[in-house]
Structure 1
Amino acid sequence: MTKFRAKLTFILIMLIGCSMLIAGIFMAKVLEDSHVKSLQDNMERELQVIRVTSDWNRMGSESDLVASYSAQIKRIKEATYERLTYVRADGKVLGDSDQQPEQMDNHLNRPEIADAANHGVGYTTRYSDTLKEKMLYAAIAVKNDRKETIGYLRISMSLSQVEKSVRSLWYFLGIGLLVLFLIAGLVSYRIARGMTRPIERMTKVAQQITNMNYESRVPAYSNDEVGQLGQAINRMSESLQQQMARIQENERRLQGVMENMMSGIMMIDRDERITLLNPSAEYILGFSSQELLGKRYNEAKQQIDFTKLIQECIETQDPIRDEMIFYYPAERILDIHLSPIAHEDEEWSGVLIVIHDITAVRRLERMRSEFVANVSHELKTPIAAVKGFAETLLAGALNDKETAVSFLQIIFDESERLNRLIGDILELSKIESKRIPMNFSPIYLPEFLDRSCSVLRKEAEKKHIELTLQVDDDMYIEADEDRLRQIVINLLSNGISYTQDGGKVKVRVEPLDMNADGDYERLRLIVSDTGMGIPKKDLPRIFERFYRVDKARSRSSGGTGLGLSIVKHLVELHKGTIRVDSEVGIGTKFTIELPVIH
Structure 2
Amino acid sequence: MLKLHDIFFRKFLVLFVSIFLTLGIIFYFWIRDICIDETRRDLVHNIDILSLQIQKLEEIDNLTKMVKNKIGLRVTIIANNGKVLGESDQIFETMDNHLNRAEVRIAKTEAYGSIIRYSHTLEKELLYVAKKYFINQEPYYIRMARDVEIVNQRFFYLALKIALLFLFFMALAFHIALKISKEVQDETKGILAFLKQLSKENKAMKIESFYSQEFNNITKLLTFISKQLSKKNLKKSKYTAKLKLSNRQKDDIISAISHEFKNPIAVISGYTQTLREEKALSPQMKKKFLAKIASNTDKLTDMIDRLRLSIKLEEGKQALLFSPCKLHTLSQEIIEDLMATYKNRSIEIQAEDITLNVDSTILAIAISNLIENALKYSEDKILVKIDTKGLSVIDKGIGLHAEEINKITDKFYRVSSNSWNNSLGLGLSLVKNILSIHDFSLEITSTENEGSEFKIIYGVKTTP
**TM-score, reference length from structure 1:** 0.41
Letter of the aligned partner of 1:46 in structure 2? N
> As a proportion of its length, which structure holds more helix?
2
Deviation at 1:69, TM superposition (A): 5.5
Letter of the aligned partner of 1:84 in structure 2? V
2:298 aligns to what? 364
Deviations 1:445-482 (A, max 9, x none): xxxxxxxxxxxxxxxxxxxxxxxxxxxxxxxxxxx999
Q: Given the alignment of the two structures, is residue 126 of structure 1 paired with residue 117 of structure 2, yes or no?
A: yes
Deviations 1:398-449 (A, max 9, x none): xxxxxxxxxxxxxxxxxxxxxxx958446499998212385799xxxxxxxx
- Consecutive unaligned residues of structure 1, counting only runs of 5 or more, are 59-67, 265-279, 285-330, 332-359, 369-420, 442-479, 484-571, 578-595
Length, aligned pairs only:
301
Letter of the aligned partner of 1:163 in structure 2? N
1:240 aligns to what? 229
1:434 aligns to what? 373
2:220 aligns to what? 231
Q: 2:150 aligns with which of 158, 161, 168?
A: 161
Deviation at 1:245, TM superposition (A): 1.0
On the 8 A contact 2:78/2:141 being kept in 1, the answer is yes
After the TM superposition, which residues 213-228 of structure 1 pair with which residues of structure 2 at under 5 Å, given as runs?
215=204, 217-222=206-211, 224-228=213-217
On the 8 A contact 1:32/1:166 being kept in 2, the answer is yes
Deviations 1:80-131 (A, max 9, x none): 4321112333444443221244654554443322221120312223343432
CA distance in 1 between partners of 2:85 and 2:43 (Å): 20
2:441 aligns to what? none
CA distance in 2 between partners of 1:573 and 1:200 (Å): 60
CA distance in 1 between partners of 2:70 and 2:133 (Å): 21
Deviation at 1:252, TM superposition (A): 1.3
Deviations 1:22-50 (A, max 9, x none): 67877776665555434323322322333
Deviation at 1:143, TM superposition (A): 3.7
1:575 aligns to what? 419
CA distance in 1 between partners of 2:69 and 2:370 (Å): 147
1:569 aligns to what? none
Q: Given the alignment of the two structures, is residue 9 of structure 1 paired with residue 9 of structure 2, yes or no?
A: yes
On the 8 A contact 1:94/1:101 being kept in 2, the answer is yes
Deviation at 1:239, TM superposition (A): 1.4
Deviations 1:48-69 (A, max 9, x none): 33334326878xxxxxxxxx85
On the 8 A contact 1:9/1:188 being kept in 2, the answer is no
1:97 aligns to what? 88
CA distance in 2 between partners of 1:361 and 1:203 (Å): 72
Deviation at 1:3, TM superposition (A): 1.9
On the 8 A contact 1:92/1:107 being kept in 2, the answer is yes
Deviations 1:516-572 (A, max 9, x none): xxxxxxxxxxxxxxxxxxxxxxxxxxxxxxxxxxxxxxxxxxxxxxxxxxxxxxxx9
Q: 2:188 aligns with which of 173, 179, 199?
A: 199
Q: Given the alignment of the two structures, is residue 142 of structure 1 paired with residue 142 of structure 2, yes or no?
A: no
Give the number of the structure whose alpha-carbon radius of gyration is greater: 1
> As a proportion of its length, which structure holds more strand?
1
On the 8 A contact 2:377/2:397 being kept in 1, the answer is no
Deviations 1:366-410 (A, max 9, x none): 777xxxxxxxxxxxxxxxxxxxxxxxxxxxxxxxxxxxxxxxxxx
CA distance in 2 between partners of 1:430 and 1:46 (Å): 131
CA distance in 2 between partners of 1:75 and 1:366 (Å): 141
CA distance in 1 between partners of 2:187 and 2:55 (Å): 81
Letter of the aligned partner of 1:364 in structure 2? D
- Identity within the alignment, %: 18
CA distance in 2 between partners of 1:195 and 1:220 (Å): 11
CA distance in 1 between partners of 2:374 and 2:44 (Å): 134
Deviation at 1:170, TM superposition (A): 3.7
On the 8 A contact 2:39/2:151 being kept in 1, the answer is no
On the 8 A contact 2:76/2:84 being kept in 1, the answer is yes
On the 8 A contact 1:138/1:154 being kept in 2, the answer is yes
2:286 aligns to what? none
On the 8 A contact 1:17/1:181 being kept in 2, the answer is no
After the TM superposition, which residues 559-574 of structure 1 pair with which residues of structure 2 at under 5 Å, given as runs?
none
1:155 to 1:263, Cα distance in 2 relative to 1, 3 A: same
Letter of the aligned partner of 1:434 in structure 2? N
Q: Given the alignment of the two structures, is residue 251 of structure 1 paired with residue 240 of structure 2, yes or no?
A: yes
CA distance in 2 between partners of 1:44 and 1:201 (Å): 67
Deviations 1:462-521 (A, max 9, x none): xxxxxxxxxxxxxxxxxx9999xxxxxxxxxxxxxxxxxxxxxxxxxxxxxxxxxxxxxx
On the 8 A contact 1:208/1:214 being kept in 2, the answer is no
On the 8 A contact 1:17/1:184 being kept in 2, the answer is no
- Consecutive unaligned residues of structure 2, counting only runs of 5 or more, are 259-268, 270-293, 303-338, 347-367, 381-394, 399-415, 422-447, 451-464
**TM-score, reference length from structure 2:** 0.51
1:47 to 1:181, Cα distance in 2 relative to 1, 3 A: closer
1:390 aligns to what? none
CA distance in 1 between partners of 2:164 and 2:66 (Å): 44
Cα RMSD over matched residues? Answer: 4.8
1:256 to 1:168, Cα distance in 2 relative to 1, 3 A: same
1:40 to 1:242, Cα distance in 2 relative to 1, 3 A: same
On the 8 A contact 1:124/1:137 being kept in 2, the answer is yes
On the 8 A contact 1:86/1:93 being kept in 2, the answer is yes
CA distance in 2 between partners of 1:482 and 1:48 (Å): 138
CA distance in 2 between partners of 1:195 and 1:153 (Å): 66
Deviation at 1:244, TM superposition (A): 1.7
Letter of the aligned partner of 1:142 in structure 2? Y
Deviation at 1:182, TM superposition (A): 4.1
2:40 aligns to what? 40
Q: Secondary structure at the match of 2:178?
A: helix
After the TM superposition, which residues 105-116 of structure 1 pair with which residues of structure 2 at under 5 Å, given as runs?
105-116=96-107
CA distance in 2 between partners of 1:211 and 1:367 (Å): 52
1:440 to 1:123, Cα distance in 2 relative to 1, 3 A: farther
Deviation at 1:139, TM superposition (A): 0.5
After the TM superposition, which residues 93-492 of structure 1 pair with which residues of structure 2 at under 5 Å, given as runs?
93-101=84-92, 104-143=95-134, 150-209=139-198, 215=204, 217-222=206-211, 224-261=213-250, 280=254, 363-364=297-298, 424-425=342-343, 427=345, 433-436=372-375
Deviations 1:325-362 (A, max 9, x none): xxxxxx9xxxxxxxxxxxxxxxxxxxxxxxxxxxx999
CA distance in 1 between partners of 2:70 and 2:342 (Å): 155
